[in-house]
Structure formats: C-alpha cells, structure tokens
C-alpha cells in the first residue's frame, strides 16, 4: 500500500516467499485488541482526537466481526495480518486510519500480539491439563482395588494399585501445569511502545496501554522487547515435555490394551478397526499422540535453532517463530482434549490384572524384607531370596507351596509366619510410607487431588 523509497513492485516470488498472513491471520483478534489499546494511548498522548480514536475503534471492531464471520479477504500482497487489517481500516475510514501506526512498529506490534495470543492459549492448555487430571483421577477411583504388577525394565517388579499407576500421570501433569503457570508470568509483559527497537519520540503512557490489555507490567528495554522470544520457547518447551508425558501414557495404554497385557479396554469410540483384519481394535489415539510428541520436540528444536546467534534486535527470521508455536499449541490442546475423553471411557479388566498379579515372584522383595525384619542384613537376604527364586523356577513350585523346612535350609531365620507376607493384600497394605501405594495412601491421594482440582 505504501511505496516510500521503493521504485519497483515486490517480486511475486518474494511476496509468496515472505508472506505470513496465511498462518498469522489467526492473530487477528489480538492484533485488533492491541491496536485499540494503542489508539487509546495515542488519544491520551494528544495524537488522535476523540473522533479519530472512535472511528479507529469502530472500524477495527467491524473488521473483527467480518473476519469472525469469514467475510474478510486477507491479501497475500499485504504480507501479514497487521498490514492487512491496517490497510483495510485506512481504506474504510481514511486519514484517521493512517495515524494508527504512529509511535508503533510491526516489531513491537507482533511481539505484543503473539504474547496476547499465547497468554490466552496457555490458559486453555492449563484448563485442559486440569480436565485430563480429573479424568485420570476418576479412572483411578473406578479402578478401585485392582492391583497390577509395577514394572521396571518392563519386567514385573512389585504389586501396586492400578490407581497408583494412574496417579503417577496426575503428578506429571501437575508439573506441566506449574510450568505453564510459570511461563505465563513471563508472557504477561507488554512490549508495545518499544517501537522498531528504540521506542519513539512521541510519548505514550505505556502503563495505561498495558492496563487496557491486561498486561501485568511493561518491558524495560526496547531492544530486548522487540527481539525476545524466550516466552515462546518456554511455552513450546513446556508443551514438548507435556507431550513426552502423554507419549509415556500412550505407550502404557498401548501395552495395556494388547492381548498380552489385557489390563484395560478402550471404548469403541476411541479406537479404530483395520481395513484388512476384522478382529482388530487399535489404540490409534495413543499411537498418534506418541507420534505427535516427536513433532512437539521438533518444534522446540526449531525455535531454539531459529533464535541461536541472531544479532540484536528484530530480524525477519523471527517470523518463523509462529508456525512451530501455533503447531505446538494446537497439537497439545487437541491431544489433552481427546485424552480426557478416552480415559473417561477406559475400563479396567479386573480378571486380567488379577491374573498378572498372581505371579508369586512379585512378592520376592517382601520375603527379603521379612528376613531383614528377622535380623538378616539386606544384601544377605537378597542373596537368600535369589536362591529361593532359582529353586522355585527349577522345581516349578510357587513360594507359597515351598515347605517351611525347605525355607529353613535357605535361611534359619525363616519362621512359620513367613507365609503371611505372601499375601497380596497384606503386602500392599504394608507399603505405608509417604508416596507408597498402600490402599489407604492411594485413597488419601485421590481425596487430596479431588480437593485440589475442585478449586
Ligand atoms: N510478519 C512479521 C513477523 O511475524 C511482522 C514483523 C515484521 N517487521 C518487519 N520489520 N519486517 O515477524
């Protein structure tokens, strides 16, 4: 629209190469909000009359309504969302529109818009994290006293309540939510008023503009303000880590609904069939999420690599920040939403979990602990039980079926009460330390989470 020093039109190839409106159009509502606040700052600074500011505000609101209704045509030759909206405003209201960009650059404008957008999106991510936590807690409640083997190295280790396993993910998501909240504090700083890089000779009350936009504070260095994308990196990192957590939950779910484990059944609404094998019921949502977590990590790498080595201040490279940021936000929002729904429809197969936990080997550590309580040093007890495990395998005899006399050949510390610790209920109830999976502890954790998440 404005030519200035340029005698030639921008090449079509350069227009197509440099445009960002095809993906930054989604900033429109935040761009308009930022522009209205800026126009109020200009009014207060005496640059705009009341009539001009009103015309700008009304014009911008009309444009916003048209975009929301899909009636607005974004033009590639106007490059980005900012120029598209400003050009259309000026076309509609004339000279007042041409005053809007006073004491502002697209550099502080885009930094402000992206912060406003990201702040809103992070609030939605936080709400969805809470929804998934609630779904997991409800699933933990539905699981009741179902016991599963806890695994290390994907080998059966010790028994745990299935609820305890689910609550492990609630803890991870809690840290994700805390990281979102922490990142939000640094998003919530307004760069507007930093101009291209050195502010402006026209003085605007930045605190007043910030209060219009709900920012808690304003940036303190104009050069940093226009070139800082730390907030985007932090959010994309927090999302990547959340994605990694979801990928682990995905893998657990994929294992659990295999015929080999069979611990859970996902609803028909959250699984898909095979075009060839009629019997298949595939956990695609979990597989897709495991896959998408790779994209989330990639987006983080893309952003960090984009910023590395950039000289001060704004560089056009920074236009490349948006696609990874938007993609990470879109991806995690969708994943959290579908996971909450899928977990709500998940059923535990108590028969299969019971069969898996009937493996007496799960209580080998409890037998070692028994010896410790009878004065045997742990390393020695570990050795004794190791030999008993070998005996049990070689003779195909379960711990409960080995006679006391045989036990005493392995260690004279064994007494008749050793058989008490081969009971699953007793074994679980004994795990009473803070954080351990006794049924009483798990019930208390469920109550704690319900209380915390009801707020
Ligand atoms: N579309 C650009 C971006 O997203 C806006 C800022 C352009 N500034 C400039 N001086 N060319 O980064």
Tens-place pLDDT, residues 386-435: 999 999 999 999 999 999 999 999 999 999 999 998 999 999 999 999 99
**What's the CA gap between 432 and 126, in Å, rounded?**
32
Does 3 score more than 90 pLDDT? Answer: no
**Does 107 sit in the ligand 1 pocket, CB within 6 Å?**
yes
Overall average pLDDT of the 270-284 stretch: 89
In this predicted model, what pLDDT tens digit does every residue of 150-196 receive, in sequence order? 999 999 999 999 999 999 999 999 999 999 999 999 999 999 999 99
Overall average pLDDT of the 297-326 stretch: 98
Cα(315) to centroid(ligand 1), Å: 8
- Cβ count within 10 A of residue 175: 13
Cα(38) to centroid(ligand 1), Å: 18
**What's the CA gap between 235 and 420, in Å, rounded?**
51
**What's the CA gap between 421 and 436, in Å, rounded?**
17
User: What is the sign, positive or negative, of the torsion defined by CA atoms of 370, 375, 377, 381?
Assistant: negative
pLDDT at 76: 96
pLDDT at 111: 98
pLDDT at 432: 96
Residues of the chain with CATH 1.20.200.10: 107-355
% of residues, the chain, pLDDT over 90: 96
Question: Which helix (H) or strand (E) covers residue 189, if one does?
Answer: strand 189-190
Q: Whose CA is nearest to atom 12 of ligand 1?
A: 319
CATH code of the domain occupying 107-355: 1.20.200.10
Residues of the chain with CATH 1.10.275.10: 12-102
Contact 286, 333 (CB under 8 A): no
Pocket test for ligand 1, best of 19, 28, 80 (most atoms within 8 A of CB): 80
176: which 2 tokens? 């994700």
CATH code of the domain occupying 12-102: 1.10.275.10
Residues of the chain with CATH 1.10.40.30: 358-454
pLDDT at 276: 85
Contact 17, 320 (CB under 8 A): no
Indicate the pLDDT class of residue 2, thresholds 50, 70 and 90.
confident
Overall average pLDDT of the 68-81 stretch: 97
**What's the CA gap between 362 and 399, in Å, rounded?**
10
Indicate the pLDDT class of residue 1, thresholds 50, 70 and 90.
low
Overall average pLDDT of the 47-61 stretch: 98
Pocket test for ligand 1, best of 316, 317, 322, 323 (most atoms within 8 A of CB): 316
**Does 83 sit in the ligand 1 pocket, CB within 6 Å?**
no
Cα(319) to centroid(ligand 1), Å: 6
Backbone torsions φ then ψ of 184, nearest 5 degrees: -60, -35
**Does 19 sit in the ligand 1 pocket, CB within 6 Å?**
no
Provide long-range contacts, Cβ within 8 A and 24+ apart, for 175-178. 176/129, 176/238, 176/241, 176/242, 176/245, 177/126, 177/129, 177/130, 177/133
Overall average pLDDT of the 274-297 stretch: 94
**Does 112 sit in the ligand 1 pocket, CB within 6 Å?**
no
Cα(318) to centroid(ligand 1), Å: 8
* 326-to-118, 379, 434 alpha-carbon distances in Å: 9, 54, 40
Q: Whose CA is nearest to atom 4 of ligand 1?
A: 319
Task: Cite the DSSP H helix spans in 395-431.
Answer: 404-410, 424-429
Does 280 score more than 90 pLDDT? Answer: no
Does 358 score more than 80 pLDDT? Answer: yes
**Does 106 sit in the ligand 1 pocket, CB within 6 Å?**
yes
pLDDT at 379: 97
Backbone torsions φ then ψ of 362, nearest 5 degrees: -60, -20
Cα(82) to centroid(ligand 1), Å: 9
Closest-lying ligand 1 atom to the alpha carbon of residue 80:
1
Strand pairing of 217-218 and 264-265?
unpaired
Cα(77) to centroid(ligand 1), Å: 14
Tokens 């985007």 correspond to 232
In this predicted model, what pLDDT tens digit does every residue of 231-252 receive, in sequence order? 999 999 999 999 999 999 999 9
Average model confidence (pLDDT) across the chain: 97
- Does the pTM surpass 0.75? The reply is yes
State whether CATH 3.40.50.1360 applies to domain 358-454: no
3-state secondary structure of 411: coil
Indicate the pLDDT class of residue 277, thresholds 50, 70 and 90.
confident
**What's the CA gap between 84 and 72, in Å, rounded?**
10
Catalytic residues: 153, 274
Backbone torsions φ then ψ of 359, nearest 5 degrees: -60, 110
Backbone torsions φ then ψ of 120, nearest 5 degrees: -65, -45
3-state secondary structure of 105: coil
């Amino acid at each position: 629209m404005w030519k200035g020093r340029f005698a030639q039109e921008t090449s079509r190839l350069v227009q197509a190469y440099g445009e960002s409106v095809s993906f930054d159009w989604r900033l429109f509502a935040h761009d308009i909000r930022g522009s209205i606040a800026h126009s109020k700052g200009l009014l207060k600074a005496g640059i705009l009359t009341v009539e001009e500011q009103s015309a700008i505000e009304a014009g911008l609101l009309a444009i916003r309504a048209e975009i929301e209704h899909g009636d607005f045509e974004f033009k590639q030759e106007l490059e980005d969302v900012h120029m598209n909206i400003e050009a259309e405003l000026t076309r509609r209201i004339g000279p007042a529109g041409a005053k809007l960009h006073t004491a502002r650059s697209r550099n502080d404008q885009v930094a402000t818009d992206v912060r406003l957008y990201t702040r809103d999106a992070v609030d939605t991510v936080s709400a969805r994290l809470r929804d998934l936590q609630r779904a997991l807690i409800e699933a933990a409640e539905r699981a009741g006293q179902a016991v599963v083997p806890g695994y290390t190295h994907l080998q059966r280790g010790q028994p745990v309540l299935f609820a305890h396993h689910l609550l492990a993910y609630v803890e991870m998501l809690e840290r994700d939510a805390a990281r979102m909240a922490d990142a939000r504090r640094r998003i919530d700083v307004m760069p507007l008023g930093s101009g291209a890089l050195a502010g402006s000779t026209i003085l605007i009350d930045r605190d007043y503009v910030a209060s219009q936009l709900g920012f808690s504070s304003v940036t303190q260095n104009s050069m940093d303000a226009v070139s800082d994308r730390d907030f985007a990196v932090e959010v994309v990192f927090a999302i990547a880590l959340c994605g990694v957590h979801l990928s682990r939950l995905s893998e657990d779910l994929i294992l659990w609904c295999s015929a080999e484990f069979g611990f859970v059944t996902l609803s028909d609404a959250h699984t898909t069939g095979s075009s060839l094998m009629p019997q298949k019921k595939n956990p695609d949502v979990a597989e897709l999420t495991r896959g998408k977590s790779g994209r989330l990590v990639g987006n983080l790498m893309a952003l960090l690599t984009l910023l590395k080595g950039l000289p001060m201040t704004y560089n056009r490279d920074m236009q490349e920040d948006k696609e990874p940021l938007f993609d990470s936000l879109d991806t995690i929002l969708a994943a959290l939403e579908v996971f909450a729904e899928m977990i709500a429809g998940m059923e535990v197969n108590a028969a299969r979990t019971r069969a898996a936990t009937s493996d007496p080997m799960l209580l080998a550590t409890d037998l070692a602990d028994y010896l410790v309580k009878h004065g045997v040093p742990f390393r020695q007890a570990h050795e004794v039980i190791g030999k008993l495990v070998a005996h049990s395998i070689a003779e195909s005899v379960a711990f409960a079926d080995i006679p006391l006399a045989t036990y005493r050949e392995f260690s004279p510390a064994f007494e008749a009460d050793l058989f008490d610790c081969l009971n699953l209920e007793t074994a679980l109830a004994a795990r009473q330390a803070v954080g351990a999976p006794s049924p009483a502890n798990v019930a208390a954790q469920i109550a704690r989470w319900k209380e915390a998440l009801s707020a």
